[in-house]
Amino acid sequence: MSYYTKFMPLIFQGLHPYTQAYINAMSTKPSAQITKAIDNFVRGIVDDGLWSKFDALYIFKMHTAQAAQLNLIQPGTHDLSTSGSPVFTADAGYAGAASGYLKTSANISTFSKFSQDSAHIGGYIESAQTANTPAIGSDLQDIEIRPFAGGNTYFSINTTGNAIGRAVASGVGHPVASRLNSSEAFFVKNGALSGAVASNASVAVSANPFKVCGGIFNNNASQFSFAHVGSGLTEAECDDLYQRILTYRTEY
């Protein structure tokens, strides 16, 4: 009898059903400490009313690469696979490599929550990049975040033309590009609006997969511990999510 079979009732008792479904999909079960951190995170974003906002939410700070590629919101749907050779580090996250990244099998245009006039992408970046190329997104210029490229972060969310630049102090942290209507887009860093809301007309959603972890367009490596995509998030919702991510990173 394995350790997890013998002690599973003690480790996994009383978990939120969403947590249980996520752990059930893992080939190797997490420790009690990781399980508690996951469950606290799940309960937190449910309590904040955020759960229904996501098509996918990935926790890369995980014990195995297989677990890190699972979609917390609905394991088995929009799970990630590797393209090229992104680097997984247990208990830390995924880093991109030259032409190496993670991607969904389905195009972002088929996602149920991410839509032309209500959309967001984001993630928690543990190590900054220097190249002026996207680290997370779907299509060059249409849907992307370029963190801290030459002293700025550039973003687009269902738009065409040049990406919008925002001055930021560092590429490390939690960037989110969001859209709540057909005429405006904005950028939130670590729970706070960066610059003004931009007048920015929306376009149809790109027919490309969701991609993350650098390497998307021959980018240098940037390490992510979280990534997420879904309907538009307000500044306050971005801050709620940021605080939950910080708590998870502290507990695990």
Contacts of 75 (CB under 8 A, 6+ apart): 21, 22, 24, 25
Which residue has 């910080």 as its token pair?
246
d(Cα 157, Cα 179) in Å, to the nearest integer? 7
Q: Are 157 and 185 within 8 A, CB to CB?
A: yes
Q: What are the pLDDT digits (tens) for 20-43?
A: 999 999 999 999 999 999 999 999
Q: What is the pLDDT of residues 50-103, one digit of tens each?
A: 999 999 999 999 999 999 999 999 999 999 999 988 999 999 999 987 778 999
pTM of the model as a whole = 0.93
- The confidence band for 12, taking pLDDT boundaries of 50, 70 and 90, is low
Name the residue ranges covered by the structural domains of the chain. Answer: 15-251
**Two structure tokens written together for 207:** 């027919």
- Looking at the domain that runs over 15-251, which CATH code has it been given? 2.60.120.200
Helix (H, G, I), strand (E, B) or coil at 238: helix
DSSP track, 56-80: EEEE-SSSSHHHHTS-SSSTTSS-E
- SS3 state at 223: strand
